[in-house]
Amino acid sequence: MVRRDAKAVGTQAELAALAFLKRNGMRCIRRNFHSRLGEIDLVMQDEDCLVFVEVRYRSSERFTRASVTVDRRKQRKIIRAAALFLTRDSRYSRGAVRFDVVAIHKGEDHEDEVEWIRDAFRPGEQSL
């Protein structure tokens, strides 16, 4: 697969996750927050909780589920980037924060299947 194709697939997965989360009552605050510490795919508002969302896509779950690819190293990067986001925007610095994973894969019927893992990991914990 050509790199630009992988990027396009990733963008489509993020858009699908965004639409899914909006249908479930969340509001988008920011897409693709980049920093030297890491990237956050989606920053969402879920009632009074700010949610940092990692989106994962796999064309098949034959070898591994998309959700298990968010290992401790990736979690640490997301947590550091989230801390930087919070210091840059004081509106969100005092409220509740959560880290979710939205994993998308092609089902047997070739349609996207979405797995939403709320509170997938927390700073200082070993999860997933």
Question: Using an 8 Å Cβ cutoff, are 104 and 13 in contact?
Answer: yes
| Burial of 16 (C-beta count, 10 Å sphere; 0-12/13-18/19+) | middle
Rounded to an integer, what distance in angstroms lies between the CA atom of residue 101 and that of residue 118? 7
- Domains of the chain plus CATH, in order, are 3-117 (3.40.1350.10)
pLDDT tens track of the chain, all 128 residues? Answer: 344 587 787 788 999 999 999 999 999 999 999 999 899 999 999 999 999 999 998 765 555 565 567 889 999 999 999 999 999 988 887 889 999 999 998 767 767 789 999 999 998 865 54
Residue position matching structure tokens 């990733």: 10
